[in-house]
Structures are given as structure tokens and as C-alpha cells.
Amino acid sequence: MANESTTTTLNDLLPSIVAEALFVASEASIMRNLVRNYTIPMGSGKTITVPRYPQVSAAALTEGTDLTNTAVSTDGATLTVSEVGVMTVVTDLARMASASNVIADVGRLFGEAIARKIDSDLTALFDGFSTNALGDGTTAITAAAIFQAVAKLRSAGVPPTDLFCVLHPAIAYDLKANMTNTFANPNAGILQNEAMATGYVGTLAGVPIFETSNMANTGTTGDYKGGLFHRDALGLAFLQDIKIETQRDASLRGDELVATAVYGVGELYDGYGVELHYDSSIL
């Protein structure tokens, strides 16, 4: 049976593990900062329901005529949390022989792993945007597609603020190529020059363009589904943020390091997102 007491050295280093992992997860996960975040209090179950109110319309009135009752009915999106985690054993010999801080390095790996998991879970939801969808996975994306996606959301009354676009880097390449005349016209404008100089699209049609490789392929090489969405389109609920625990294994002469998080993701409002289904010309 493992001895649950930790060594004095590991106790001294443990705060560094937690601080490093939380920092890396916050920095590496772009999606976490682009969607609506919720916290589920301990003891409140594994789900959180987000009520959704419909749009209502006002009408002109006639003096002396009573108003017609307008029924307001809500529905809701439910997010269910589950555990994710990663574990490794740091042996005494590895810690003593290493020139670097093994514990901090492992903490960094843990944070990056959970951050990538959060991103991939959220980007997988782009496939669920059924109200608005552009592309069929056979052509490369263009700047016109971004403007068209924004037009679809704005036509539906989606607020113009807090709009974001997330693409796979191989798809974003074609967007940059389209904007810069296949990287041959660096003087066409500010955005084109920025794309040529830094490789960063920046803001297009008033929407920040982000890239992440934490996006699953649709099954066809170079075929990815990105998304252009309002923050309220997707939700991320945490019952427990990243937690790192240790357990001493005396017979193994090492310490188990376990990182876990308890969270759930889900679509909050389908009409607030546009699926961008395009094929990369370089894959």
C-alpha cells in the first residue's frame, strides 16, 4: 500500500507545480477565453442549465385598444461535467539526477495536456452549428467567406461585439494566401501587409481570427471545420479546475503526480455560430 506522506523536498516544490500548470493552461487554451464560462459550486451536481430567452417583437398600438398578450417561454442548454486527467511517476533517482526542475517540467506537461483537451472538446462543437454553415469541405476558404459568415449572424440580429473566428492553421493559410494574392502582393493594404510580415491575419470583418491545431480532422486529409461565433454560442462549465495531487510510492521509490480537471462543454445557442467547412490546399 502506498505511503501517502510526501517528501519534504516535494512539499517544497508542490506550489510550483500548481502555479505552473494553471498558468500554462490559461495561456495555451485559446478557446477557454472565447466562450461563456461557468462555475458549478461544489455539492450542486454534475450539470448546469443555462436558460435561453427568445427574441420578442414590439408592435404599433392603437389608442383605446388593449394589448395582445405575448407569451415568453424559455428553454435551456445543459452542460454536463466529467473528469479528465493525466498521471505519471517521478522517481527519486530522476528527480535527484536531473539538472532541471523535474516537478515543474511535469507540471508544465500536465497543464498543456489539459489545455489541449479543453480546446479540442470546444472546437469539436463547431460541427454542431446547424443553423448557419458555409463550405462543403471541397474548396479553400476565402476572405469573402468570413464576411459572409458575419453577414449571416448580423442578419439574424446577433450582437456585433464578442464575435470570434477559429480556424485550423492549414485552413488559415489559404485565407492568408487569398488576402495577399498568394503572398505576392504585400502592398495591397494594412491587413495584407500584416499577414505578409507576421503571418497573423488579425481582425477581418471586425472579427479576430485565431488559429489552433487542436481541431480534429473530418476524416479527409486537409478537411477541417472551423467556426465563426458569438461568445454565447458555446459554454464551458468547471466543477473543478486543474488540480495536482501527489502520493508517495515507497516501494517504487518515487511519487505519483496526478493532474485532473472536471468540466463540461456544450452548445448554448445554435444560431449564434457559423460552421466553416473548408479544405486545405497544402495538405
- List the chain domain ranges: 8-51+77-124+240-260, 125-233+270-279
User: pLDDT tens digits, residue range 230-253?
Assistant: 999 999 999 998 888 878 889 999
CA separation, residue 243 to residues 2, 92, 178, 188 (Å): 20, 22, 44, 49
3-class DSSP state of 23: helix
Assess contact for 203 and 146: CB atoms under 8 A: no
Tell me which fold the domain 125-233+270-279 belongs to: hypothetical protein PF0899 fold (3.30.2320)
Specify the pLDDT at position 183: 56
- Residues 66-71: what's their mean pLDDT? 82
- Whose cell is 498568394? That residue is 182
Q: Calculate helix-pair angle for 169-179, 143-155, nearest 10 degrees.
A: 100
Alpha carbon distance 120, 117 (integer Å):
5
Q: What is the pTM of this model?
A: 0.83
pLDDT of residue 196: 46
Cell of 170: 492549414
The average pLDDT across 38-64 equals 86
pLDDT at 176: 87
> What's the alpha-carbon Rg for the chain, to the nearest Å?
24
pLDDT on residue 80: 95
What is residue 13's three-state secondary structure? helix
Average pLDDT over residues 77-93: 91
Q: What is the pLDDT of residue 243?
A: 84
